[in-house]
Structures are given as structure tokens and as C-alpha cells.
Amino acid sequence: MGMSLSRHPRLSQVPVVLLLILSAIAIFPIAGIAPQVIPTIEIPTYIHVIVETFSVCIALFVFVVSWISLNGGTPLKIPALSCGFLVVALFDLMHLLSYPGMPTMVTPAGADKAMMFELSASISCAFTLVGVAFSPNIFLTKRIVNWAFFLWGVIYFVAASWLQLEYGSDLPKMVDPMGVPTPFHRACDVLVILAFVVAASRFYFSSDSEIKHFDVRDLFIATIAAALAEVCFLDSGRQDLVEINGLLLKTISYYYIFVSLFVTTIKAPYLKLDAEVEMRKEAEQRALRMAHHDALTGLPNRRLLEDRVTVALQSLSRHGHKILALVFIDIDDFKKVNDLHGHDMGDLYLLALADRMNRVIRRSDTLCRQGGDEFVILLNDLDEISQVLTVIKKLQSVMSSPITLSTLQLGVSMSIGIAMYPEDGENFITLFKNADKVMYIAKAAGKNTFCFIDSSSGESILGRDIEFSHAY
């Protein structure tokens, strides 16, 4: 199944529009209408030098980025691309240094010499991309193989350069005396174009899983741009403007190869690291939540309750007219629910109880599961004790109706103990112990009631007969 270039997120509008414009110009040499459509403009040599230098730099970036990513488990395609583009960069550099008017390098600079190195760079680029397109997705387990690729590339470049510099006069000519590419040059260019088309076809009809470690969309654009550049070079030497167009297309080709490689070898590991860091943060947050919340109900546990009570007490110490209450709740005869109906039903029962309790308290209060069948409510920032008693009244009212679980109806009975700041303690431990103590007094008095200590008399007061008149 082919890819859709329109869905590719990194294709910004400017490079694509530029590519289309340059591509349109590239067809003129084939049509034979370049002289009529494009005026003959002599482009200064320094323009050629600037554009070619830029393409050499990008080719070297491709080599450097891919080479530094090599390790013992490197895919075969990466060292092939790395060393291939080292050769491409070196041939392009030789082409740059061989322009007419450049200093003598072993042999005098000239159009034929420059075209010979330009063709060598194109051939190297084409067959490197064909190799990337069709090489198997295997990993190299030894670094020595990477150096073997490097050594092969250096030997190939040195041998080809020596042959062209020493025996250039015996090789087929690249341009005729008028500066027009010879049939041999054109034939070689056509073969290079066909190689690019073959590689582009492979990239187009392949998915990222088939050609791993690269973005096939970027490689497809790169090979198309390279093929169009070679189309321009078919007319090289006759239309300087078309030749500059070819150099720009070649630079775009190298750029997209660099992007494809950079994303997979440099950026992707950092993105993976970011994802792992985010996963670790989420795991830490889950661990922190588990450390401060009950696993069954998701309610705060005793540790978090203690933190909130401590913070609330510090606030109340600066506002002496406010009070705070801890309400300790024990579900009467909960063990019978587990014994008669099983622990799963008991868990559902506890969840239903927690849900009902949460409906009664304010958002600023805290409902905590102490463990088992015990819950604790922190009532904070109260003006008088009657507000606490009103909450208890609401709790008893909400719990008065049975809880329906599947086909079961289970009644609710609670024994409640209340401890208030500052009368029953000025810290969490003291308040918690006193609330637990009076809860057992309520349970001993027959269950399903509440109990607190009268601050004036110090006696335990049960709540069955207390009148409630204050709103909460």
C-alpha cells in the first residue's frame, strides 16, 4: 500500500512549493525547449560554489549523524548510508574544486574534469539509495563491519579519484568543445535517473516497517528530487540557470535524507527518552497515590489524613475561633457481610458506603478509609459543635436505607466516635485516639449511635436523644 505525502507532518509548505517550482523547470531540458523558455544567463562562478558548498556540507552532516549513531547493534542500512554519503560528499567537493577558474589540483580545472566528478557523486548517491531501499533489515553485531564499510568507501573514492586525475584524458569525454554534455555523459545520467526512480518506487510502495530506521516519506522525496536534479544535469553546460536548479534540487535531496536520518537516529531516541520519563513520572504519581490513598475505594488513607489534619491544625492555631472534628466510623457487623456473602460482595458494600458518605460532607472536608470497615471524616473550619452533630444526623439519615447489591439488600449500622479540637486534643495522634476511644463507647452502648466527650463535664454523651437544630 502506498503512502500519502499529504499526511506527512514534517512537509512544510515552503520546501514543497519550491520543489514543485524547481521540478517544473527541470522538465525543460527533456522537452528541448529550454533555450526558448529560459533565457541564457551566465551565473557567476561564486553562485555555483555557494550552492555546491552547501550541498557538500549537508552530505557531510548525513555522514556524521549516521556515523555517530553506529554501535554494536546497528542496522545494515545506516553504515551503508553513512559511508555512501561520505563518498558523495568527497566527490562533490572534488567537483567543486574542479570548476573552470578554480586553482589547479593535480590537473588543471575544467568543465570535463568537473563533470566527471559530478557524475561520480551522482552515481554514488544513486546506488547508495538503491542499497538502502533493497538491503535487508538486519543488524550488525560487530563494529568492525562499520569500519569495513568506511574502508570500502575510502578505497573506492581514492581509486576513482586517482583514475580520473591520472588518466582523465584517456577516459570518455564528459562535454564537447562547446560545453555540451556528450552522449556518454547523457547515457550515464539516464542510468543514474533510472536508479533513482527504482529507489523512489521502492520507498513509495514501502511502509516504515518494511524499511526500518528511516522515514520512507522523506527518502521518497529525496530520491525524486535527486532524479529531477539529474534531469537538469542532462542539459548542464548549456543553460546555467537550469544547472543551478539542478544543484538546488540536489541540495533538497540531501536535506530530506538528513531529516530522515536525523529523526530516526538522533531525535527518535530523545523522543523515546521523553516518553520513558513521562511514563516514569506517571508511575511515580501512581505510587504516590497508592501511598496516600486506599486501594479499594480510592479514598485518602490514614497517612494523607494525618497530613491534612496537621495542616488544618496549623491554620486553626492562627484563627482561634474555629474548631475541627475527627469523626471515627465503624461499620457494625461488617464481618457478617463477608462471611455470608463473600469478600467481593463485602468490597462492593464498602464502596457503596463510601459513596454515600461522600455525598454528606463538604468538598473542603476529608473522608478517609482507616482500613477494614473503619472510616474517618475530617470536618474542618467549623464555627460550633452543632455543625458536627448536623453532619452526623445527615450520615445517619443517608445510611438509614438499605444498600442494594444485585439481588441483596444490606442494612447499614454505624458506631461513631467524635473528637474535637482543641477540647479533645491539639494534635492528630491525640484526636485520633480519643475519636477511636469514644467510638468503642458507642459500640458498647448498643451500636448504631455516636458518642463524644462533653467538654464541660468530661462525660461521654451518646447521640440517640440529642436534638439537631443547626444547618451544616
Q: pLDDT (tens digit, 9 = 90+) per residue, 182-211?
A: 889 889 989 999 999 999 999 888 876 667
Residue-wise pLDDT tens digits, 215-231: 788 888 889 889 888 88
What would the grid cell of residue 350 be? 464498602
Provide the pLDDT confidence category of residue 73 given band limits of 50, 70 and 90.
low
Per-residue model confidence (pLDDT) at position 8: 43
Residue-wise pLDDT tens digits, 433-464: 999 999 999 999 888 899 988 776 667 777 75
Sign of CA dihedral 36, 37, 41, 45: negative
Residue 95 carries which side chain, given as an amino acid letter? H
Provide the pLDDT confidence category of residue 9 given band limits of 50, 70 and 90.
very low
Report whether pLDDT(347) > 90: yes
What would the grid cell of residue 220 be? 521518497
Concatenated DSSP letters of 396-450: HHHTTSPEEETTEEE---EEEEEEEETTT-SSHHHHHHHHHHHHHHHHHTTSSSE
Which string of b and e fits 205-235 if b means at least 16 CB within 10 Å?
ebeeeebebbbbbbbbbbbbbbbbbbbbbbb
Report whether pLDDT(18) > 70: no
Put simply, whether the predicted model's pTM sits higher than 0.85 gets the answer: no
Q: Around Cβ 406, how many Cβ atoms within 10 Å?
A: 8
Conformational region of residue 327, where left means phi above 0, alpha means psi within -120 to 50, and beta covers everything else: beta
